[in-house]
Amino acid sequence: MGDEKKVAGVSPCTRCRAPAVALVRRTGEHLCAAHFVASVEREVQETVERTGMIRDGDCIAVGLSGGKDSSVLLYILSRLLRDRPEVRLLAITIDEGIAGYREETMKAARALTADLGVEQFVVSFEDAFGRSLDAFLQNPAAPNPCTLCGVLRRRALQTAARRAGATKLATGHSLDDEAEAALMNVLNGDLKRIARTGIPGNAFVPRIKPLGGVPEKEVTLYAVVQGLFLPLPECPYAGQALRSEARTIISTLEYRHPGTTMQFMEGYTTLRERGAHCLEEEGATGGFTRCEECGEPATGRRCQACSLLASLRDE
């Protein structure tokens, strides 16, 4: 057995026989910490190369909340791009203003950017929209907290990325996040939304998702192995019913039939691209116009963010 390390009850790494920390179900491999880290980073690199999402001269703004997914994204990109000085990397952190929750995650985001030597821009909802999320939610007309939070955060990220000179906005969505959103679009029968996400240039700064090929469990384990997993509080507004049910469906299917999530996303991506192509053929917008107030894509005169803000203005 040579120098193979034996630890009671722990399978050896398929590649080097050191004690394994993970069973990667989609490949059937047991991997030690070093090989697991390498396999996640290779998956991200392959996604980046296959899609051409990062090119020389790009300035990549990472949307960094301070939670594990965006922290893993920034950490991996800083490693993958360390030999590419022609690509600039920066981080944008949006402080939604959620008392008892964001203080800790903001601290984690600041510590990580300082550690990695990555420039960080911080924008609060109060700076961008005049009020914190907590304050907006005092209004009885406010929608579901996560709807408001998500729409305004995306808007704040876009604006900050454009101001910082970014050419791409990278978010920490994992394969599971993408599959959950896709399943929700299908369950909602939201064909326009499915096709719209396939139209290039449908936002100020194109969004990229380098972790889109990595299952959530692997993102979490990568965070643990690399010391990026911190015991952070949970958002007091968390708990969107449909999304959490979509998550359960995806994870159950993946557990019973490894590889299902990846196959679903391959099919969904084809559907999305074909839908976008049809919309372009129909006249480029397929019913989408530009918001009169901010220029973002809209289905009426105003985009979702401007409509929400208008409905929450003091009467």
Residue ranges binding ligand SF4 (CB under 6 A): 96, 145-146, 149-150, 235, 237-238
Among positive and negative, which fits the CA dihedral 64, 166, 197, 222? negative
Total of chain residues touching Zn ion, rule CB under 5 A? 6
What angle separates helix 102-116 from helix 68-80, to the nearest 10 degrees? Answer: 10
Question: CB under 5 to 8 A by kind: which of Zn ion, ligand SF4, none does 306 bind?
Answer: Zn ion
Name the burial class of residue 92, with classes exposed (0-12), middle (13-18) and buried (19+) by CB atoms within 10 angstroms of its CB: buried
Q: Site for Zn ion (CB under 5 A): which residue of 90, 133, 182, 306?
A: 306
Instruction: Name residue, tokens 């960094």.
Output: 64
Question: CB under 5 to 8 A by kind: which of Zn ion, ligand SF4, none does 235 bind?
Answer: ligand SF4
Site for Zn ion in 88-107 (CB under 5 A): none
Question: CB under 5 to 8 A by kind: which of Zn ion, ligand SF4, none does 238 bind?
Answer: ligand SF4
CA distance 7 to 88: 43
Q: Site for Zn ion (CB under 5 A): which residue of 122, 142, 262, 294?
A: 294
73 binds Zn ion (CB under 5 A): no
Give the nearest distance from C-beta 125 to ligand SF4 in angstroms.
10
Q: Which residues of 254-283 are buried (b: 16+ CB within 10 A; e: fewer)?
A: beeeeebbeebbeebeebbeebbeebeeee
155: helix, coil or strand? Answer: helix
Q: Which two tokens stand for residue 81?
A: 């791009």
Give the nearest distance from C-beta 253 to ligand SF4 in angstroms.
24
Give the nearest distance from C-beta 283 to Zn ion in angstroms.
21
Question: CB under 5 to 8 A by kind: which of ligand SF4, Zn ion, none does 146 bind?
Answer: ligand SF4
Contact residues toward Zn ion (CB under 5 A) are 291, 293-294, 296, 303, 306
